[in-house]
Chain A
Amino acid sequence: MSVPAKVSIIIPVYNVEDYLPKCLDSCINQTLYDIEIICVNDGSTDGSMRILEHFAVIDPRIQIIDQENKGLASARNAGIRVANGQLMMFLDSDDFLSANACERIWLETQHEKTDVIIFGSEIFPVYPEVDHWYKETLYTGTHRFYEFEPYILFHMPGGKPFVWRQAFSSSLLKKLNMSFEEGNRYGEDLIFQFKTLPMAKNFSVISDRLYNYRWYREGSLVSKANQNLDYKMGEHVKMVHTITEYWAKNDLLDLYGTDYYTWVLQFMVPALHKLKQNERAVHAQKLRQIIEEYKLPDFAVVKDMKDDDKRLAKMLEKM
């Protein structure tokens, strides 16, 4: 038995020597002292590792894990395995935290037992002008939930899709044996949330902006994938498959079938519609197979669905 640190911050690092010092600076200057900083070097080919070693000398709270390049999900998993704090946060190596982030989050758990804390974030750089979508999704209000409600995952702006805007109690993650899906190179955040949030009980949503998100970066993995729509769709279909499989296994479809089916349609069909005819058919076919295999429409209450969503379902059949 040992006393866990208050917060563990898990940072996957891959070729970010330009941004890493600022990120680590923000961690070691937190107002809360009792934190663990776990950096997972995912086989960087530039000077990132040297920077990490340099910082580890300055501050003994920094732990370095060195591994071959296996992807973001695997790096975060390695971090989760080592982390020993009461709370777990995920920080991307090109972003940074505000100075009171850990303190604020830890205080939130002192008042009441809390499994998941969702907090707001600031977006930078301001130039080129910030995409409107980011402004909308990164807003959070102030709420408290004592039980999981589909609203949190499907409709609340804080629910999706980034894992770094949520802090999880590590007892929850350990109990569920949660990890990131290593097979999916894209959207592992979303899968993680669809797995974890329905299993959690106490949610706290705070409007403080504690995280600073770099929304635009040249040569980032995300922007590369955005260019190739076909590849992106393929990954999305894979992602939906993983989530549906998990939800069916854990009887979540019984409880939230309508919301889930609606989400799948809204998430996939408009995006499929943007593709070219010949590319579209392949992905639509796969998606229809998934929906049939897990009988999503059976779990949903079609009566409650909006007309728009029903139309989406019909569109998918014709694609």
Chain B
Amino acid sequence: MPKVSIVIPVYNVEKYLRQCLDSVVNQTLQDIEIICVNDGSKDSSLQIMQEYQAKDPRIKIIDKENSGYGASMNRGFDAATGEYLGIVESDDYAEPDMFEKLYAVAKADDLDVVKSGFFYYYSKPEEKNTPAPVASHVMCMRVFCPVTDFESPMEQADFFNIKPTIWSAIYKASFIRGNHIRFNETPGASYQDASFNFKVWTCAKRVRLVEECYLHYRQDNENSSVNSPGKVYCVADEYKEMERFLKEEKPELRGKMEGIRCRLKFDSYMWNYGRLSPELAWEFLQFASKDFAQDVAEGLCEFKYYPYYKWKAMLDIIKDPRGYVIQKKEEQEKEKLLRYSDYKPMPPQGGVQFNPGESRLHRYWRQGRECVKYYGWSFTIKKALRKVQRRLFK
């Protein structure tokens, strides 16, 4: 049995595939299995894979019709025979010692999941890697269970809210299969990582985070699924899938996890709402309003998982989405005004104010007049003299 099975979902990535496969084939951990799942690519991706397979017998290729990211990942995980499962997306690449290090950590404590940090990788205009660790070194010190080991509800919500970078981790195969954790088989690549990530954290008993970064996450792939706002409603499917999973597979955890699921849903809906064009956004907000209302009616949302302003925003959206949009707009305008008023003269405690585009003489004259108004003549003259004195003798 190989130590780690690495699943690579491939769809139209001939540009980046070589870099990815090179990094996986040259891993310092030799005892691995590489499963490339070709999701009906229309370019030369399949030829590239076959070329690598001829050189390296550890590579297996699964060739199938186009059926989406979730389905490919499930096929890959089913075919895997390794002790641990890892994922490398075909436009990213891994550090050579990634799986060796992660496997060592996982084996030492018999862990279900080990998660590491990653690099944001920019190839244009010049190569740049920005490290993004998962958590602080304090969080990385211990082995914990995400469901039971957090005493503070907000900290737990914070942990579940970490970016679902499912490909910077390795998972124990028996853990994934035993808990029936599968990807949601929706078409295309559309946020399937969200529900997978949630299922993993819900079921995991022994988790460890690693502060070091190993995977390079490409930021400038035009075909990347993150860049298409048309897929917002797929997010809703993900949260329905999570609910189904909790109902059918983990009914005993439902009371604990539903509150967190609703919080995550709120955050991701609002994030999507923020990046849509106004017309689409309004449509989406109406949809979200109904969705939130249903959750609240079923009694699933819990206040303890929300910061107060988020809770309030959610109730506002349920009550009156139009009103919420107007209120938001007013707030933004007010903020602009506030920013402008920073430059306006203010009552006495404010100290020295600067008006943009004002000459120095004009400013002194204005300040002098204000000073007289608030403090009287004698103080103003004293202060002016002191200022002159300072200018002359320093």
Contact = CB atoms under 8 A, between A and B. Distances in A.
Interface string A248-267: 00000011100000000000
B386 A31 contact: no
Interface residues on A, range: 20 to 34
B133 interface: yes
Interface string A164-186: 00000000000000000000000
B138 interface: yes
A5 B351 contact: no
Interface stretch (B43-51, B326-334, B374-382): B374-382
Contact of A2 (B130, B133, B307, B379): B133
Interface stretch (B61-69, B147-155, B233-241): B147-155
Interface in A273-319: 298, 301, 303
Contacts of B135: 3, 34
A107 B154 contact: yes
B386 A6 contact: no
B276 interface: no
Interface in A96-130: 100, 103, 106-107, 110-111
Contacts of B375: 301, 303
B226 interface: no
Contacts of B141: 60-61
A149 to B, nearest CB: 7
Nearest to A151: B349
B17 to A, nearest CB: 29
Interface string A136-157: 0000000000000110000000
A10 interface: no
Interface string A23-55: 000000001111110000000000000000000
Contact of B349 (A4, A84, A255): A255
Given A1-B130, A2-B211, A33 B136 contact: no
A31 B152 contact: yes
B271 interface: no
Contacts of A6: 136, 155
A1 B309 contact: no
Contact of B152 (A3, A32, A256, A303): A32
Interface in B331-353: 349, 351-352
Nearest to B346: A147
Nearest to A8: B138
Interface string B301-330: 000000111000000000000000000000
B384 interface: no
A6 B154 CA distance: 12
A268 B375 CA distance: 27
B131 A35 contact: no
Contacts of A106: 154-155
Nearest to A61: B138
Nearest to B209: A3
A254 B139 CA distance: 46
Nearest to A2: B133
Given A4-B136, A255-B349, A298 B155 contact: no
B349 A110 contact: no
Contacts of A33: 138-139, 149-152, 155
Contacts, number: 73
Nearest to B338: A146
A111 B382 CA distance: 45
A269 B62 CA distance: 87
A279 to B, nearest CB: 35
Nearest to B134: A3
Contact of B309 (A111, A149, A255): A111
Contacts of A1: 130-133
B137 interface: yes
Interface in B181-235: 211
Contact of A255 (B132, B142, B154, B351): B351
B304 to A, nearest CB: 10
Contact of A103 (B139, B152, B308): B152
A263 B173 CA distance: 69
Contacts of B152: 31-33, 100, 103
Given A61-B141, A111-B307, A150 B349 contact: yes
Nearest to B376: A303
A103 B155 CA distance: 8
A298 B133 contact: no
A106 B158 CA distance: 12
Contacts of A103: 152, 154-155
Contacts of B138: 5, 33-36, 61
A36 B375 CA distance: 49
A34 B211 contact: no
Contacts of B376: 303
Contacts of A298: 382, 386
A2 B376 CA distance: 54
A5 B154 contact: no
Contacts of A60: 141-142
Nearest to A149: B349
Contacts of B151: 31-33
Interface in B129-180: 130-139, 141-142, 149-152, 154-155
Contacts of A255: 349, 351
Interface of A: 1-6, 31-36, 60-61, 84, 100, 103, 106-107, 110-111, 149-150, 254-256, 298, 301, 303
19 contacts: A1-B132, A2-B211, A4-B136, A6-B136, A32-B151, A33-B139, A33-B150, A34-B135, A34-B136, A35-B138, A84-B136, A84-B137, A103-B155, A106-B155, A110-B154, A110-B307, A111-B308, A150-B349, A303-B376
Query: Which 6 A/B pairs are nearest by Cβ-Cβ distance?
Result: A31-B151, A5-B136, A255-B351, A31-B152, A103-B152, A3-B136
